[in-house]
Amino acid sequence: MKTIVKTAALSALLVGCGSPPLTIPDDFVVLDDDYADYDVRATNAHGAVLAVREIDNDVEGNLSFWVDAVKNKLRNQGGYSLLEEADVNAGSGHAGHQLRFGRDQNGQAYQYWVTLFVTPDTVWVVEAGGRGEVWTDAQARVEQAITTLSLE
Amino acid sequence: MKNLVWAAAALLLGCGGSSYEYAATAPRGDSSEGGYGDVASTGGYAPPAEPAEESVSRMEVMADASGGGADFDSWDGEDDVAAGPATVQPQYAQNQPPPQQPTQGGPTQTQPRPQQGQATDAVDLSQPLLIYTATLHLGVYQVEATQETVIGIINEVNGFLSQRTDNTIVVRVPAAQFQSVLDRIEDAGDVLHRQVEALDVGEEYRDLAIRIRNSEAMRDRLEQLLRQASNVEEALAVERELQRITESIEQMKGRLRWLSDRIAFSTITIHFQPRATETLSTDPFRLPFQWLDTLGLSNLLSL
């Protein structure tokens, strides 16, 4: 029952902000991120974070363009290693692409996922990540949440 | 014999009613006969005809040796001098018409290619005697390549390279080719500054020629006096004067050679200024989408 309420509240929030609905995992809370670059951002108690942003696709780039843009940016200028990539589908059926990066810092391993969905007008960017074992615990639920994204 | 020495001294001092006139101070065109540069003219001192002819002959030899080749045979002295106004041309601005060729159709076009630093073209005294010089500042992208292009142009017209540094070259071209060469050089780059001058040296040239002729006649007369000297004292006195006048003649001949060279071959100085080239950034390629810069864990995990 709690999940339904949370999903409904988040959906209302997202619709109100013009953002896509996304089912947030049970152990995550939505942050009040008015000042941030994200349309919605949620975190669990251990520091795994899930965020969504909606970018105007003014230049009408396709999925391939934006995937490459993100890939180049994070690999060449961000110091991330691309560990894995895969095609994914949103809850609305739109095809997207997921880039799974890794980064080590101060002896800690971090995971950072960027999942992209592109429509003629909008680029949907779903980011998720966290430190080592924290991410390992949250990964399955985050992966599941991404598949609930609706671009309708 | 003392009288001989005094006569020489009086001659050199210009007193005694000598008919020698110094071209630099002589009035121009106001005398219809004798006088101006005419060694054989009437007066208190009349050098023999033969030495006077010799002096003319020497002048021709000198001119040939100098490469200037002054055409004294075609110059009849005073009237030509008077007819040659000494007018210094003003500098030519960027868009003003350049000076005309001073010796068009003259022997400059048929002379063999000179050695560097020499000019063999004859000076046509019937034309205004002008020294053309030009200074160009050219904006170019490749200095060395453009320098080679300019040198190629100079070689085509039998000119020669006078001086070369990293960014400047000085070339000499036949005066008849001055304008056409200037045009072609300007096409080799962007003209940032242009200065063209035509200096009329006709007056100086003719004055020098007359003074040389007079001095040589005087030298001949001194040589005669030297031969007539009866003792060492007289001989030494005359020799001193001979030495002085010989040095003076050589100086004037040197100046005449220099003028002949500058008249026959114009001087063009070209300063090459490399154009600022675009400097490409060595920074990593960045797409102009700001949101890409906000990607990363640093932002995401900053709660």
DSSP A13-35: HHHHHTPPP----TTEEE---TT
If asked whether residues B124 and B190 sit together in one domain, one would say yes
Mean pLDDT score, B272-282: 80
CA distances from A127 to A99, A146, B177 (A): 10, 9, 75
In a domain, A151, yes or no: no
Q: Bigger pLDDT: B6 or B192?
A: B192
CA distance A28 to A50: 9
CA distance B20 to B5: 19
Chain A positions with Cβ closer than 8 Å to B: 31, 36-37, 41, 43, 47, 49, 51, 53, 55, 59, 69-70, 72-74, 76-78, 80, 103, 110, 112, 114, 125, 127-130
Tell me whether residues B297 and A55 touch, CB distance under 8 A. no
Q: Which domain holds residue A69?
A: 2-146
If asked whether residues B56 and B141 sit together in one domain, one would say no
- Strand residues in chain B grouped as ranges (E): 130-140, 160-164, 168-174, 190-200, 265-274
**Which of B287, B289, B296 shows the shortest C-beta gap to A78?**
B296
- Tens digits of residue pLDDT in B211-257: 999 999 999 999 999 999 899 999 999 999 999 999 999 999 999 99
**pLDDT value of position B19:** 39
Find the helix or strand (DSSP H, E) in which A72 lies. Answer: helix A63-72
In a domain, B17, yes or no: no
Q: Bigger pLDDT: B108 or B181?
A: B181
Percentage of residues in chain B having pLDDT higher than 90: 50
Residue B90: pLDDT over 70: no
**pLDDT value of position B279:** 77
Tell me whether residues B300 and A53 touch, CB distance under 8 A. no
- Do B241 and B222 form a contact (C-beta atoms < 8 A)? yes
What value does the CA radius of gyration of chain B take, rounded to a whole number of Å?
A: 30
Tokens of B225: 């006096």
CA distances from B156 to A80, B73, B102, B153, B264 (A): 63, 32, 20, 5, 17
CA distance B274 to B287: 32
In a domain, A43, yes or no: yes
**pLDDT value of position A21:** 65
Q: Give the neighbor-by-neighbor strand order of the sheet with A49-56.
A: A28-30, A40-44, A49-56, A122-131, A108-118, A95-105, A81-89
In a domain, B293, yes or no: no
**pLDDT value of position B124:** 75
In a domain, A152, yes or no: no
Tell me whether residues B295 and A114 touch, CB distance under 8 A. yes
Look over chain B and give the mean of its residue pLDDT values, rounded to a whole number. 70
Chain B residues in contact with A59 by the CB 8 A cut-off are: 289
CA distance B167 to B139: 11
Indicate whether this complex's ipTM tops 0.90: no
Residue A115: pLDDT over 80: yes
If asked whether residues B75 and B146 sit together in one domain, one would say no
CA distances from B295 to A60, A70, A89, A110, B87 (A): 20, 8, 21, 15, 78
Helix, strand or coil for residue A70?
helix
If asked whether residues B109 and B35 sit together in one domain, one would say no
Q: What is the DSSP letter of A74?
A: I
∠ CA A69-A106-B298 to the nearest 5 degrees?
A: 40
- Tens digits of residue pLDDT in B195-206: 999 999 999 999
Chain B residues in contact with A78 by the CB 8 A cut-off are: 295-296
Pairing status of strand A28-30 against strand A40-44: antiparallel
Lowest mean per-residue pLDDT among A114-123, B3-12, B46-55: B46-55
Q: Which domain holds residue B44?
A: 31-81+208-262
Tell me whether residues B291 and A110 touch, CB distance under 8 A. no
**pLDDT value of position B158:** 94
CA distance B214 to B245: 10
**Which of B285, B291, B297 shows the shortest C-beta gap to A37?**
B291
Q: Bigger pLDDT: B9 or B49?
A: B9
**pLDDT value of position A33:** 74
If asked whether residues B168 and B181 sit together in one domain, one would say yes
Chain B residues in contact with A112 by the CB 8 A cut-off are: 296-297, 300
Mean pLDDT score, A30-41: 83
Chain B residues in contact with A71 by the CB 8 A cut-off are: none
Q: If you count them, how many residues does chain B have?
A: 303
> CA-nearest residue of chain B to A31?
B303
If asked whether residues B195 and B270 sit together in one domain, one would say yes
Chain B, 243-302: which have a CB under 8 Å from a chain A CB? 284-287, 289, 291-297, 299-301
Confidence of residue A32 (pLDDT cuts 50, 70, 90): confident
Chain A residues in contact with B303 by the CB 8 A cut-off are: 31, 43, 49
In a domain, B302, yes or no: no
If asked whether residues B256 and B268 sit together in one domain, one would say no
B195, β-bridge pairs:
B135
**Which of A36, A59, A70 shows the shortest C-beta gap to B292?**
A70
Chain A residues in contact with B287 by the CB 8 A cut-off are: 69, 72-73
**pLDDT value of position B303:** 79
**pLDDT value of position A35:** 65
If asked whether residues B244 and B184 sit together in one domain, one would say no
- Tens digits of residue pLDDT in B106-158: 333 333 344 444 444 467 777 889 999 999 999 998 899 999 999 999 999 99
Residue B64, number of CB atoms within 10 A of its CB: 13
Number of domains in chain B: 2
Q: Bigger pLDDT: B256 or B66?
A: B256
- Do B74 and B125 form a contact (C-beta atoms < 8 A)? yes
Q: Give the neighbor-by-neighbor strand order of the sheet with B190-200.
A: B160-164, B168-174, B265-274, B130-140, B190-200
Under 8 Å CB pairs connecting chains A and B tally to 51
Instruction: Find where tokens 């320098």 sit.
Output: B147
Residue B73: pLDDT over 70: no
